[in-house]
Amino acid sequence: MEIFITLLILVVVLVLPNIKVVPQAKAYVLERLGSYSQTWQHGLHVKIPFLDRIANVVTLKEIVKDFDPQPVITKDNVTMQIDTVVYYQITDAKLYTYGVENPINAIENLTATTLRNLIGELELDQTLTSRDIINSKMRSILDEATDPWGIKVNRVEVKNIIPPRDIQEAMEKQMRAERERREKILQAEGEKKSNILIAEGEKESAILRAEAKKEAQIREAEGEAEAILKLKTAEAEGIKLLKDAKADQAVLTLKSFEALSNVANGQATKIIVPSELQNIATLSTTVSELFKKEK
């Protein structure tokens, strides 16, 4: 009984503490007698008491590290502060454990030196407008440099670029001047469009008035032509009726008298009598004789 209790105590004291369950997205680096033995991935594992030791527990998740602003000098000798954010992931727990002392500090220093080298080749304006290029170059350089450490750099982002105060004030003045210039351009374009619309409206109005006047004149001319046509048609029909009625010379002469009477009623001061009407006295005598015979 005592032996069983002793064995149970030994199991509790020696075996249970050496049973390890590695969670997901974790890796345990195991050493045996001071040397690297193996890397435990997620799952159940047992280590040998007094011989094995867990040297490091490594997370395999992507890690985001925001580094403090670093002073850098541009090609045109402008000193400014730039801080970066590095997204990296441990791909080899063994290399991460034995590759470099204090890997995070190593990445920070490597980021600072790489950033200084890149910014030193650019002028201030290029630095402010070339973030994508800087990010891409830094990611490529850091990823290659951290391969021996078991680290993969996925992304590098330039978070803030802080130029000196006097440069900021100059940039703000330039921005205000640019905004004022754009505002004036927009106002001028608006006035130009307004004047063009007004001129086009006046032009269309003048065209419409001219077309209306032209249409009125055409209608008036058409009305006069139609009236003349109807008058001539009526005269032609009257002549045709006289011809169809076989009117004699006396009737035609009377018609001539009527026409002469109408002419006399006008404003003319002179009347020219046609040669056909010179025998008026003879015609009057003939008419008188006809009336006497009838009586």
Is the distance from CB of 30 to CB of 55 less than 8 angstroms?
yes
Of 86-90, 113-117, 162-166, 265-269, the least confident = 265-269
Whole-number Å distance between alpha carbons of 186 and 158: 35
DSSP string of 206-248?
HHHHHHHHHHHHHHHHHHHHHHHHHHHHHHHHHHHHHHHTT--
Q: Which two tokens stand for residue 19?
A: 């049973």
Check whether 134 has a pLDDT greater than 70: yes
Distance of alpha carbon 114 from its chain centroid, rounded? 38
Domain boundaries, given as residue ranges, for the chain: 2-59, 62-163, 249-295
pLDDT at res. 123: 86
Whole-number Å distance between alpha carbons of 71 and 119: 10
Q: Name the one residue in this structure whose structure tokens are 């790489």.
A: 114
Is the distance from CB of 86 to CB of 115 less than 8 angstroms?
no
Of 44-58, 93-107, 126-140, 259-273, the least confident = 259-273
Is the distance from CB of 239 to CB of 252 less than 8 angstroms?
no
Write down the architecture of domain 62-163 according to CATH: 2-Layer Sandwich (3.30)
Structure confidence at residue 285 as a pLDDT band (50, 70, 90)? very low
pLDDT at res. 250: 54
Q: What is the pLDDT of residues 196-243, one digit of tens each?
A: 888 888 888 888 888 888 888 888 888 888 888 888 787 777 667 766
Is the distance from CB of 78 to CB of 164 less than 8 angstroms?
yes
Mean pLDDT across 272-291:
48
Of 3-7, 126-130, 269-273, the least confident = 269-273
